[in-house]
């Protein structure tokens, strides 16, 4: 069962967390603003969708507040 979101014109980028070093922050693929998963202020990005498998977070979709790009984070399970 997919929870499909109809794609609008904004691009969707995919970030694999297993390929990110350090604290898990990364630059927005489009505008370059630093997105940190620990930042819960909603100033830089907001969470659009979360996908949980069992009790573990498996995917997170964010939207950059600066450029409007959607960024899909994958690799949560592999990182454990
Ligand atoms: Zn951006």
Q: Tell me, in angstroms, the distance from the centre of ligand 1 to residue 63's CA.
A: 8
- 10 Å Cβ neighbour count for 76? 18
Q: Tell me, in angstroms, the distance from the centre of ligand 1 to residue 45's CA.
A: 8
Confidence (pLDDT) at 47: 94
Asked whether residue 71 is domain-assigned, the answer is yes
Q: Tell me, in angstroms, the distance from the centre of ligand 1 to residue 66's CA.
A: 5
Asked whether residue 56 is domain-assigned, the answer is yes
- 34 compared with 24, residue with greater pLDDT: 34
Asked whether residue 65 is domain-assigned, the answer is yes
Domain count, the chain: 1
- 69 compared with 40, residue with greater pLDDT: 69
Asked whether residue 34 is domain-assigned, the answer is yes
Tell me which residue range forms the domain holding 68. Answer: 12-79
pTM of the model: 0.78
Q: Tell me, in angstroms, the distance from the centre of ligand 1 to residue 65's CA.
A: 7
- 10 Å Cβ neighbour count for 26? 19
Q: Tell me, in angstroms, the distance from the centre of ligand 1 to residue 61's CA.
A: 13
Query: What is the per-residue pLDDT across 37-60, written as a single tens digit (0 to 9) for each?
Result: 788 899 999 999 999 999 999 999
């Amino acid at each position: 069962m997919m929870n499909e979101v109809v794609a609008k014109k904004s691009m969707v980028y995919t970030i694999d967390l297993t390929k990110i070093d350090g604290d898990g922050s990364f630059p927005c693929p489009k505008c370059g603003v630093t997105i940190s998963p620990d930042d819960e202020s909603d100033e830089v990005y907001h969470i659009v969708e979360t996908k949980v498998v069992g009790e573990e977070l498996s995917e997170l979709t964010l939207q950059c507040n600066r450029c409007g790009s959607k960024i899909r984070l994958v690799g949560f399970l592999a990182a454990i």
